Structure 1
């Protein structure tokens, strides 16, 4: 993402904050694994940006990525980044805002779309919970430490799916009986991962992952609710994982 902004628009992460008083935080991600791709399948792989849109009145940056190795594309990723206006302090404190003209002028007219972007997590979660069969549930507590934070001592987006994975594996490990063969899912490849962030999570705050396993039309799905216990049990993120049959 930042390589694209720097090469295409001449804006680095420090420059966006330092020269434009703005920043970006991830609010949603949709990952689809198109095919199996293992560590021995290729000596290298490439990551490309295939489409970019400034959406919703220039408040959200939508980016589409493709991951390709020998044999072609093996994963597609869509990221939604919310624009923040910074107040200039070292903690990069910010409030939701819009891209400045100094940033927008670096984009082409085709990369600016005023319509609202699509959100997938809530709809997919509703479908799983309404149509799926709940088969197991577990809880996993954690503390947010600095190695899991980004520069503002807030949780790093890259760590959020890892919390969900810990919750899933903890759920499976704690099972006394496994009639639905959940343990076998540890050997199956992921099909999709959907992530939605809705609340800050800062250094040393306490959290809990509520993980629920479902069978949905012959497919195993996990819905993970990540709760910020310190902030009055606020729902901070939802992660959905589905596995290939």
Structure 2
């Protein structure tokens, strides 16, 4: 009999800082995604610190997709959020896929999927790393049901435009910030959670420049997608360029954020691209 895919489930109390007035914050859901990953590793494979320091293996996010259901979950709706996490690997152990469901009040509030690249830690003190694969003993710890078909990753990791783009609503808006340690993780590399927060902050900043002309700038986020290509590090200055478009259908707006180094050349490709689909035109 083939062993089933294993699931880690946990319950989290909800409190005010996890919400905006509109919904459960995307950064809350992404923080709980890492929580779910760490719990799955500890329960079924090896604790995260052992993965890095004993097995010299690290994990970074390559792509992510977050979808929030309607009606949006609000602070008064429920005191608890139930999270279910599953992890799968490619046959080579070079890639992992983390899938999550967030449930409250008897319904699914959101779903998330993160495609993760496995790295080999080259220097244990600085945690510098290069593309790698799971060590054979860890790869053997995955059941047959947790192994992805050869062509599955190609579809999951594609960097195509996730949402259709219609008419552009305003000229591209730019702003710069210097990354601090509060926006980075243990290796002084950007935290994917904080970079998504940087993008959502850039969209909300449009309220101060466009006012009521762009109501979608402060509407609920329905879906969010991101592609991480080149990391940045603590004290790097990054430039965020934000564009807004009508979605072709559904009365929604798509925001696209390109985040990269602020230093010339300005035409260099972004290290991170984030798309948000919001429930307002």
Distance 1:12 1:230 in 2: 38
Judge which range, 143-152 or 225-234, deviates more: 225-234
Listed as ranges, the matches of 1:123-138 within 5 Å are 123-124=161-162, 127-128=164-165, 132-136=166-170, 137-138=172-173
The reply to whether residue 82 of structure 1 matches residue 117 of structure 2 is: yes
Residue equivalent to 2:38? 2
Gaps of 5+ in 1: none
Question: Is the 2:56–2:124 contact (alpha carbons within 8 Å) kept by the matching residues of 1?
Answer: no
Distance 1:97 1:198 in 2: 16
Distance 2:264 2:108 in 1: 41
Residue equivalent to 2:9? none
Residue equivalent to 2:253? 220
RMSD of aligned Cα (Å): 1.8
CA displacement, residues 146-180 of structure 1 (integer Å, 9 cap, x when unaligned): 1111011111111011111121122331127x5xx
Listed as ranges, the matches of 1:108-147 within 5 Å are 108-113=143-148, 114-117=150-153, 118-119=156-157, 121-124=159-162, 127-128=164-165, 132-136=166-170, 137-147=172-182
Question: Is the 2:176–2:262 contact (alpha carbons within 8 Å) kept by the matching residues of 1?
Answer: no
Listed as ranges, the matches of 1:33-112 within 5 Å are 33-35=68-70, 36-49=72-85, 51-55=86-90, 57-112=92-147
Gaps of 5+ in 2: 1-36
Runs of 4+ in structure 1 deviating by more than 3 angstroms, as ranges, are: 230-234
Residue equivalent to 1:20? 55
Distance 1:231 1:62 in 2: 35
Listed as ranges, the matches of 1:173-184 within 5 Å are 173-175=208-210, 181-182=213-214, 184=215
Give aligned pairs, total. Answer: 235
Q: How far did residue 56 of structure 1 move? A: 6.6
Distance 2:210 2:158 in 1: 30
Question: Is the 1:139–1:171 contact (alpha carbons within 8 Å) kept by the matching residues of 2?
Answer: no
The reply to whether residue 159 of structure 1 matches residue 194 of structure 2 is: yes
Residue equivalent to 1:204? 235
CA displacement, residues 184-236 of structure 1 (integer Å, 9 cap, x when unaligned): 22452110010111011011111111000000122111011012224854411
**Greater strand fraction, Structure 1 or Structure 2:** 1
TM-score, with structure 1 as normaliser: 0.89
